[in-house]
Amino acid sequence: MKPNYTALSFVYDLIDVIYFNRKNRSPRTALIDIIPDTPVRILDVCAGTCSNSILIAENKPQAKITALDLSADMLKIAEKKFCKKNIRNIEISVTDACNSGFPNNSFDIILISLVLHEINEDLRKSILSEVKRLLTSNGRVIIIEWKQPVRLFQRIMFTPIKLLEPRGFKKFLQQDLTSYFKQKGFSINENRNCDYTQVIVLSITK
């Protein structure tokens, strides 16, 4: 059965309403704060309906954004959003994140948002290898990932996320991400704690 991508996009939008509703603690706010107000080239990996790309485009008009996803249906929904908001600095690409076809060193910033926990280790390794190839030598990778909250209320609210995510979700969240990314050739420059998430800034290990 073909997925109902319109319904899926609605679910994704609900995440912001339920989990990211405090602006000063939202990973979306942290993302915008990290990206400079300069003409950077940004790749949004596994962009889905492009919520992050749209947010960046609206707040960083000098940025040139490429949104990449294997699902043409998800990107069609994104295109409708672009038209409604009259956004012109995003290009979409129906492309495999493991084999994008873009030249080496094509992007200054690469975003991977709420993706790595959902896929197996082989696929994570392939995506991060491709990201490393595409990133400029002084570029940055921005990872947005779930993080187990400490406060009781947030722990209760986080339960549906844990139940709905795939089998390896808990294991991925519990591992030492500094060591994990080091094995993949990246160093952590910054780690911001947000509601239910962490925003990690990586650079290629020199």
pTM: 0.93
Q: pLDDT tens, 100-158?
A: 999 999 999 999 999 999 999 999 999 999 999 999 999 999 999 999 999 999 999 99
Q: Are strands 135-146 and 197-204 parallel, antiparallel or unpaired?
A: antiparallel
CB distance 25 to 90 below 8 Å? no
Residue 5's pLDDT band, with cuts at 50, 70 and 90, is: very low
What's the confidence (pLDDT) of residue 173? 87
pLDDT in tens, 69-82: 998 888 988 998 99
Distance CA 146, CA 28 (A): 13
Separation in Å, CA 5 to CA 1, 48, 51, 109 = 12, 10, 14, 27
β-sheet bridge partners, residue 124:
none
Domain 5-204 sits in CATH at: 3.40.50.150
The model's pLDDT over 25-40, given as tens digits with 9 standing for 90+, comes to 999 999 999 999 999 9
Look at residue 43 and tell me whether its pLDDT is greater than 50.
yes
User: Beta partners for 68?
Assistant: 45, 93
Handedness of CA 127, 128, 134, 140 (dihedral sign): positive
